[in-house]
């Protein structure tokens, strides 16, 4: 099929493309021509007038919980991918804390099979240790052969320094990152950030140093081994500062943060809304400010949602009993545009780096190119549209987000990848 | 003037006028409690459920008595924590109770915010009878009532809360309520039992019990919860008693009159010596009596809101 995207702005920081008012001709999902289209090109093509909209390399979310296998009542691979497409994401990496954990080639293959043929590319992060128990490292070579792009015991940090050292040494052979959920087990276990709000709300606190200590450990062991450490969902001021210093010293470390950690503070917990309970917890304004600085100065490489679906029966309970996590894959682009681009923390170029280029680099994945002959892997953005989040329209199986009814500026309007398009709430073949 | 909220979830943010109204109303009911017939028909026809997710004797009895003395129909619903694991959620339990057409719910729960959660899922008036380590507003109110009864004022008084502040729901309610009423509030205890950032609530932190006695008009001595996790926060009971316990010798040494409160149940010889617990400066049993009057006042004011 011939498709023309008319009058779009092309933006691709990696290729140094920044062009306004171009047309793109796609034939069967492959870029045929960019720029100067003749009358014949347009003749039998389906034309989408995207005047003023931005076409950018498809966004990538490197921290998603798909819950399959194990908790298909909360999310499935397909539903999670549908939500990703609706959120303007063309590729994801899914986390291994499923039941069973992703620690064998069979589970990787199962997930890949579920995702086959979808618009959204599903990349698998495998457990760093068997059963995420922190005792024996997972069969990393075999897992890599099955296609995994990184390792993590997400939900918790790798249990001991000795195992982390071993995991880094082993994964280094394949240049794959160890993605760390940084939290000291002995200091963990609370329900919200330790601060004046936890004191006032009477909720068991998690001190920020629980995160800082493990970030410190990981930097030191990362430097010692030379392995690739990636800090997941960084949330504290001190952790950002330590990563900044480590990068200056040339240590191989990268970091991501989430939209909720750059948007909300622990003030949001005051309603006891369990959709403000996540791990790491929402922190203070000081932490948010440092995260914004870290995003701006490049300390924080990526933005990832930590999309964590939970069933209503699990979330509609007392705060102490509710599980951690919120859905986020459908609101992350809107939040990033509203909170970062429109508030002049990041340029649109910088945002594309954090949401498309950098995560793929960290996971050694190819970066979509804007060139003739390349498959179309696009996110199309309307950066000015003002819209209201409506969870009832979410494509995810779960609706546990604190952002329902929030007013945002800027949204993804379409995505294209794998010969498919998602636009106006529908999937179509290109 | 009626109360400004249909629930009593905590004393944080409760306006001064509301606290004043509750304390003044309690004075009336306090007088009722001295009558030969201690019952008024005020809440006749109202149904109140005491929903207790945690063991409690005195608070439950106090509420139950208050309800009966107001002629309300009182129902006790004690849920052992094991039934949580049996499967019925808190929400479903509450929905079932509400379906039986109750007007007010008095809830004690081990999870902070549980009463707030109830206000979102049902229409009854919700009264917090203690949620986790968050608040216990009627205790705060009865403490203030008892102090005011004895000292004739709250404004300008110096009150120190002594003990395990971090694991106490009484401390926060006292802090919020007393500060609203113009008292100066401090806390005293081992630093492991003082929550971080409590100074941000406008509270002074004292680590020396003698200093606390010297500086204050009132000591509200909290129970050291020997049965809880709190036990891990200090080295030994002996050490606690020696350095933070209120004893006659200590009071004598400081040569200063202070009013002693204790929300009970007391651990004699731990946070308070028998001599002090039975001595002239304490009002521990008055607090218990006043508790019924305060709970009558709260139930009456909320139950008759239009």
Sorted by where each begins, the domain ranges of chain A are: 2-55+375-429, 57-362
Q: Give pLDDT tens digits for A24-60.
A: 999 999 999 998 788 887 888 999 999 999 999 999 9
Dist CA A27 CA A45 (whole Å):
9
Quickly state the pLDDT bin for B235 (edges 50, 70, 90): confident
B186 shares its domain with B220: yes
- Domain CATH number, residue B117: 3.40.50.1370
Count up the domains in chain B and report the number: 2
CB of B85 less than 8 A from some CB of A: no
Chain A partners within 8 Å of B133 (Cβ) = 202, 204
> What is the rounded end-to-end Cα distance, in angstroms, of chain B?
11
User: Is B127 in contact with B138 (CB distance < 8 Å)?
Assistant: yes
How much of chain B is in helix, strand and coil states, percent to nearest 5? Answer: 45, 15, 40
In a domain, B247, yes or no: yes
In a domain, B277, yes or no: yes
CB of B60 less than 8 A from some CB of A: no
CB of A312 less than 8 A from some CB of B: no
Closest-CA residue of chain B to A199: B195
CB of A194 less than 8 A from some CB of B: yes
* Whole-structure pTM value: 0.93
B102 shares its domain with B204: no
Tell me what the pLDDT averaged over chain A comes to: 97
In a domain, B3, yes or no: no
Q: Say which of A306, A320, A404, A425 is annotated catalytic.
A: A306
Averaged pLDDT, A264-279: 97
Signed CA dihedral, A125, A131, A137, A139: sign only:
negative
CB atoms within 10 A of CB A162: 11
- Residue A88: DSSP 8-state: T
Closest-CA residue of chain B to A204: B133
Averaged pLDDT, B251-271: 94
Q: Across the interface, which of B109, B117, B198 has its CB nearest the CB of A199?
A: B198
pLDDT at position A41 is: 78
Dist CA B209 CA B251 (whole Å):
10
pLDDT at position B88 is: 80
Q: Across the interface, which of A196, A202, A316 has its CB nearest the CB of B134?
A: A202
A218 tagged catalytic: no
Q: Across the interface, which of A195, A200, A321 has its CB nearest the CB of B111?
A: A321
Q: What is the ipTM of this complex?
A: 0.90
- Is B204 buried (19+), middle (13-18) or exposed (0-12) by CB count in 10 A? middle
Q: Which of B11, B165, B195, B202 to mutate to test the interface with A (most CBs of A within 10 A)?
A: B195
Q: Give pLDDT tens digits for A331-386.
A: 999 999 999 999 999 999 999 999 999 999 999 999 999 999 999 999 999 999 99
Q: Across the interface, which of B84, B113, B201 has its CB nearest the CB of A272?
A: B113
Averaged pLDDT, A58-81: 97
B22 shares its domain with B74: yes
Could you give the C-alpha distances from A249 to A44, A210, A226, A244, A363, in angstroms and in order?
Answer: 57, 24, 12, 9, 22
User: Is B60 in contact with B108 (CB distance < 8 Å)?
Assistant: yes
B149 shares its domain with B265: yes
pLDDT at residue B85 is higher than 80: no
B149 shares its domain with B282: yes
B278/chain A closest Cα distance in angstroms: 32
User: Is the Cβ pair A199, B196 closer than 8 Å?
Assistant: yes
Dist CA B290 CA A124 (whole Å):
63
In a domain, B6, yes or no: no
pLDDT at position A324 is: 97
Q: Across the interface, which of B89, B132, B197 has its CB nearest the CB of A202?
A: B132
Give the three-class secondary structure for B206: strand
- Strands B204-206 vs A302-303: parallel, antiparallel or unpaired: unpaired
User: Which pair of structure tokens corresponds to residue B287?
Assistant: 């607090």
Q: Give percent of chain B with pLDDT exceeding 90.
A: 85
Give the three-class secondary structure for A292: helix
pLDDT at position B83 is: 55
pLDDT at residue B188 is higher than 70: yes
CATH topology of domain A57-362: TIM Barrel (3.20.20)
Q: Give pLDDT tens digits for A107-132.
A: 999 999 999 999 999 999 999 999 99
B205 shares its domain with B295: no
Q: Which of A195, A198, A199, A285 to mutate to test the interface with B (most CBs of B within 10 A)?
A: A199
**Greatest extent of chain B over all pairs of C-alpha atoms, in Å:** 59
pLDDT at position B82 is: 47
pLDDT at position B201 is: 96
Q: Which of B193, B190, B198, B186 is nearest to B167 (CA)?
A: B193
Residue A302: strand pairing partners: A256
Q: Which of A145-154, A201-210, A252-261, B95-104 has the lowest mean pLDDT?
A: B95-104
pLDDT at residue B71 is higher than 50: yes
User: Is the Cβ pair A272, B195 closer than 8 Å?
Assistant: no
How many residue pairs from chains A and B have C-beta atoms closer than 8 A?
Answer: 68
Q: Across the interface, which of B111, B169, B196 has its CB nearest the CB of A318?
A: B111
Q: Give percent of chain B with pLDDT exceeding 70.
A: 96
Q: Give pLDDT tens digits for B6-54.
A: 999 999 999 999 999 999 999 999 999 999 999 999 999 999 999 999 8
Could you give the C-alpha distances from A266 to A263, B21, B248, in angstroms and in order?
Answer: 10, 33, 44
Tell me what the pLDDT averaged over chain B comes to: 93
Q: Give percent of chain A with pLDDT exceeding 70.
A: 100
Dist CA A242 CA A244 (whole Å):
5
Closest-CA residue of chain B to A194: B196
User: Is A411 in contact with A402 (CB distance < 8 Å)?
Assistant: no
Dist CA A152 CA A102 (whole Å):
10
The class of domain A2-55+375-429 in CATH terms is mainly beta
B198/chain A closest Cα distance in angstroms: 7
CB of A198 less than 8 A from some CB of B: yes
Contact residues for B57 (Cβ-Cβ < 8 A; gap 6+): none
B144 shares its domain with B283: yes
Signed CA dihedral, B148, B152, B153, B154: sign only:
negative
> A residues 318-337 near B, CB within 8 Å?
318-321
- Strands A407-417 vs A378-388: parallel, antiparallel or unpaired: antiparallel
Q: Give pLDDT tens digits for B273-301.
A: 999 999 999 999 999 999 999 999 999 99
Give the three-class secondary structure for A229: strand
Could you give the C-alpha distances from B155 to A93, B221, B284, in angstroms and in order?
Answer: 60, 20, 21
User: Is the Cβ pair B112, A272 closer than 8 Å?
Assistant: yes
B110 shares its domain with B142: no
B184 shares its domain with B212: yes
Q: Give pLDDT tens digits for A136-153.
A: 999 999 999 999 999 999
Dihedral, CA atoms, A155, A158, A160, A162, nearest 10 degrees?
180
Q: Give pLDDT tens digits for B189-211.
A: 999 999 999 999 999 999 999 99
Dist CA B226 CA B270 (whole Å):
10
Quickly state the pLDDT bin for B227 (edges 50, 70, 90): low
Question: Which structural domain, as residue segments, surrounds residue B251?
Answer: 137-287
Chain B partners within 8 Å of A203 (Cβ) = 112-113, 132, 134
């Amino acid at each position: 099929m011939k498709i023309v995207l008319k009058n779009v702005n092309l933006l691709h920081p990696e290729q140094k493309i920044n062009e306004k008012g171009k047309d793109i001709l796609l034939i069967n999902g492959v870029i045929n021509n960019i720029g100067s289209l003749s009358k014949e090109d347009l003749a039998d093509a389906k034309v989408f007038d995207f005047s003023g909209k931005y076409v950018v390399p498809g966004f990538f979310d490197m921290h998603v919980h798909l819950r399959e296998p194990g908790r298909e009542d909360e999310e499935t691979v397909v539903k999670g991918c549908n939500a990703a497409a609706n959120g303007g994401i063309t590729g994801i990496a899914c986390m291994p804390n499923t039941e069973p954990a992703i620690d064998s080639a069979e589970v990787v293959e199962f997930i890949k099979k579920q995702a086959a043929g979808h618009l959204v590319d599903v990349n698998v992060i495998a457990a760093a240790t068997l059963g995420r128990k922190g005792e024996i490292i997972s069969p990393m070579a075999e897992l890599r052969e099955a296609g995994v792009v990184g390792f993590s015991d997400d939900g918790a940090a790798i249990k001991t320094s000795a195992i982390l050292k071993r995991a880094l040494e082993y994964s280094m052979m394949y240049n794959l990152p160890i993605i760390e959920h940084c939290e000291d087990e002995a200091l963990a276990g609370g329900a919200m950030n330790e601060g004046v709000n936890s004191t006032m709300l009477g909720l068991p606190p998690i001190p920020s140093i629980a995160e800082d200590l493990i970030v410190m450990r990981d930097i030191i062991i990362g430097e010692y081994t030379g392995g690739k450490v990636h800090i997941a969902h960084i949330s504290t001021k001190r952790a950002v500062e330590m990563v900044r210093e480590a990068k200056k010293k040339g240590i191989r470390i990268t970091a991501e943060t989430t939209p909720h950690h750059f948007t909300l503070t622990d003030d949001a917990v005051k309603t006891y809304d369990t959709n403000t309970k996540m791990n790491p917890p929402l922190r203070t304004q000081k932490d948010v400010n440092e995260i914004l600085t870290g995003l701006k100065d490049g300390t924080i490489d990526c933005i990832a949602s930590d999309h964590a679906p939970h069933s209503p029966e699990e979330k509609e309970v007392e705060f102490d009993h509710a599980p951690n996590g919120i859905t986020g894959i459908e609101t992350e682009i809107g939040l990033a545009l509203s909170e970062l681009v429109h508030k002049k923390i990041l340029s649109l170029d910088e945002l594309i780096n954090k949401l498309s280029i950098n995560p793929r680099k960290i996971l050694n994945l190819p970066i979509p190119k804007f060139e003739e002959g390349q498959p179309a892997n696009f996110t199309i953005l309307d950066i000015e549209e003002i819209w209201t989040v409506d969870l009832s329209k979410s494509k995810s199986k779960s609706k546990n987000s604190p952002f329902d009814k929030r007013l945002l500026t800027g949204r993804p309007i379409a995505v294209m990848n794998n010969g498919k398009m998602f636009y106006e709430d529908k999937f179509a073949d290109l | 003037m009626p109360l400004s909220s249909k629930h009593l979830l905590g004393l944080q943010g409760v306006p001064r006028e509301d606290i004043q109204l509750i304390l003044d109303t309690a004075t009336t009911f306090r007088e009722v409690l001295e009558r030969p017939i201690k019952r008024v028909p005020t809440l006749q026809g109202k149904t109140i459920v005491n929903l207790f997710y945690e063991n409690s004797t005195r608070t439950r009895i106090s509420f139950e008595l208050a309800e009966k003395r107001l002629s309300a129909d009182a129902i006790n619903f004690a849920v052992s924590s094991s039934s949580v694991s049996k499967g019925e959620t808190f929400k479903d339990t509450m929905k079932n109770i509400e379906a039986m057409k109750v007007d007010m719910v008095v809830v004690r729960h081990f999870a902070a915010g549980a009463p707030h959660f109830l206000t979102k899922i049902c229409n009854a008036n919700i009264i917090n009878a203690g949620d986790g380590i968050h608040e216990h507003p009627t205790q705060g109110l009865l403490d203030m009532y008892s102090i005011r009864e004895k000292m004739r004022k709250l404004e300008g008084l110096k009150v120190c809360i002594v003990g395990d502040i971090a694991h106490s729901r009484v401390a926060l309610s006292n802090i919020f309520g007393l500060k609203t009423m113009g008292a100066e509030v401090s806390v005293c205890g081992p630093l492991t039992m003082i929550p971080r950032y409590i100074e941000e609530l406008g509270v002074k932190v004292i680590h020396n019990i003698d200093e606390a006695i010297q500086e204050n008009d009132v000591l509200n001595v909290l129970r050291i919860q020997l049965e809880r996790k709190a036990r891990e926060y200090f080295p030994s009971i002996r050490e606690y008693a020696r350095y933070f316990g209120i004893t006659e010798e200590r009071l004598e040494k400081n040569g200063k009159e202070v009013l002693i409160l204790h929300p009970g149940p007391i651990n004699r010889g731990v946070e308070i010596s028998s001599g002090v617990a039975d001595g002239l400066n304490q009002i521990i049993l008055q607090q218990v009596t006043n508790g019924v009057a305060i709970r009558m006042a709260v139930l009456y004011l909320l139950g008759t809101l239009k």
